[in-house]
Chain A
């Protein structure tokens, strides 16, 4: 079972905003940077956000990240049908000496 907890699903209509939470502890999110990954159906994951709030080149600014204490949040504005995917947070856990992923959140565009 994952040590990072995310809501199983979120949904909204095109153009709206959604936020996805990622709750951890002092040994993971509270102690390290957080990354966010997008996995489109049938494809490998791709990084959306790194170091809590940075976007790799090519990732639109509709995607944003933040962190506070032992929780992190991914925001998606101007929702598009192409954003329908599974989203995962991830970071290193110093107590487990392991990389940990969130439970995953499915985004549905209504």
Chain B
């Protein structure tokens, strides 16, 4: 069965960096685009970034462009999110999710909490 397991969350000071990882299993990782989606406490879902199956194409929400970098290692079946210059408004649960056909996100991880606070 498809499994996505995020790790790397924690408490970090404003302006610092953090790297999230997502370990995938149960499907051919190298055949699927992958997303990061976040959710601030008590708020709705916010899409963060998308990477194509081969890592060639990357897309970012305006709110993180220039600060966050998505990448993947298909040999390790792992997705990454490098988050630099973190702000308080980046606080939330970050979900790793599998994309299909551009309009569907069909499997989600359990999420990892990132708290940006001094």
**A residues neighboring B (CB under 8 Å):** 2, 32-35, 37, 39, 44-47, 50-51, 56, 86, 88, 90-92, 97-104
Interface window among B13-21, B72-80, B84-92, B101-109: B101-109
Nearest-neighbour CB distance to chain A for B40, whole angstroms, equals 12
Tell me if A50 and B104 are in contact (CB < 8 A).
Answer: yes
**CB pair A46 B44 closer than 8 Å:** no
Q: A45-B108, A97-B59 are in contact. Are A33 and B103 (CB under 8 A)?
A: yes
When A99-B50, A100-B47 are in contact, do A91 and B103 touch as well, CB less than 8 Å? yes
A37→B45 contact, CB < 8 A: yes
Residues of B in contact with A, size category: 20 to 34
Contacts of B110 in A (CB 8 A): 44
CA separation between A97 and B60, bound complex, in Å? Answer: 8
Task: Tell me how many residue pairs across A and B have CB atoms closer than 8 Å.
Answer: 66
> Which applies to chain B's interface (DSSP): helix, strand, loop or mixed?
strand
Establish whether residues B104 and A47, one from each chain, have CB atoms under 8 Å apart when the complex forms.
yes
Alpha-carbon distance A69/B59, docked complex (angstroms):
26
A37-B105, A104-B44 are known contacts. Are A44 and B61 too (CB-CB below 8 A)? no
A101 and B108 contacting across the interface, CB-CB below 8 Å: no
B68 at the interface (CB under 8 A from A): no
B103 with A101: CB separation less than 8 A:
no
Which of A34, A37, A56 has a CB less than 8 Å from the CB of B103?
A: A34
Complex-state Cα separation, A35 to B50, whole angstroms = 17
CA distance A97 to B45 in the complex (A): 17
B104, A51: Cβ atoms closer than 8 Å: yes
